[in-house]
Chain A
Amino acid sequence: NAGVTQTPKFQVLKTGQSMTLQCAQDMNHNSMYWYRQDPGMGLRLIYYSASEGTTDKGEVPNGYNVSRLNKREFSLRLESAAPSQTSVYFCASSEPLVVGTNEQFFGPGTRLTVL
C-alpha cells in the first residue's frame, strides 16, 4: 500500500496563477482532509470531506476550492494564487466510523511558493 500520495512535491507559482494539488489514498478511507502549515506553526484545516460526495470548510478555506473526485481522490485548487498561500500543504485520510479511533494518515506534503 502506498498510503496517501500527493503531487506535486514542490511548486512555484506567480501571483494570480492557478493550480490544483492532487491527493489520493489507497486505504479505502471515507474521510479526507487538506491542511496547510506555515513556518513554525501547527497545521490548519482548509477543507475536509467526511465521505464521498461531501465537502465542508475548515478553519482557513478562503482562496481554495476542493473536489472529492471519488472515494480515493481529493483535490485542492488555488484559483488565483497569492503570496499568503505560500505554505506546505498536507493531505490526510481517516476512517472515523470506528468509535474512538480516527487515526489520520498523512501524505508527504506539497511545498508551494507563490512569488
Chain B
Amino acid sequence: DAKTTQPPSMDCAEGRAANLPCNHSTISGNEYVYWYRQIHSQGPQYIIHGLKNNETNEMASLIITEDRKSSTLILPHATLRDTAVYYCIVRLYSSNTGKLIFGQGTTLQVKP
C-alpha cells in the first residue's frame, strides 16, 4: 500500500471549513483513499473514501487531484466536536483482506 504524508497538526476556527491535506504520491491506479478520525482515545471512526472522483457525504467532502497524488478532506462547518486526529490511508482493494495501515495522522484543533 502507498505511503501517505500529513501535517502533524492544524487549527481551525469553529464554524469555518477545515481543509486537511494528504500527499500520496506513490498511489497506484487501483488504490483507494480512506479517511478516518479518532476522537480522544476512542476507536477510530470512518469518514469517507474515494478512488478518483470527488466524494461527499453527510460528514465531509473528499477532493482528489486529477493525478491522484494528493487529496484534501473538507469539513465544511467545523465544530468543537470535530477536534480529533484525522488519518489519511491509501489501500489496495482486496476481497481477501480489509487491513488498513495507519500513519500518525493530523491533529485538528477546532477553536471557539
Contact = CB atoms under 8 A, between A and B. Distances in A.
Nearest to B103: A42
Contacts, number: 72
A102 B1 CA distance: 15
Contacts of A56: 97
Contacts of B99: 33, 45, 48, 58
Nearest to B94: A96
B101 A59 contact: yes
B65 interface: no
Contacts of B10: none
Most central of A43, A45, A95 by chain B CB within 10 Å: A43
A96 B85 CA distance: 24
Interface of B: 32, 34, 36, 41-46, 49, 51, 85, 87, 91, 93-105
Interface of A: 4, 31, 33, 35, 40-45, 48, 50, 56, 58-59, 88, 90, 92, 94-97, 99-109
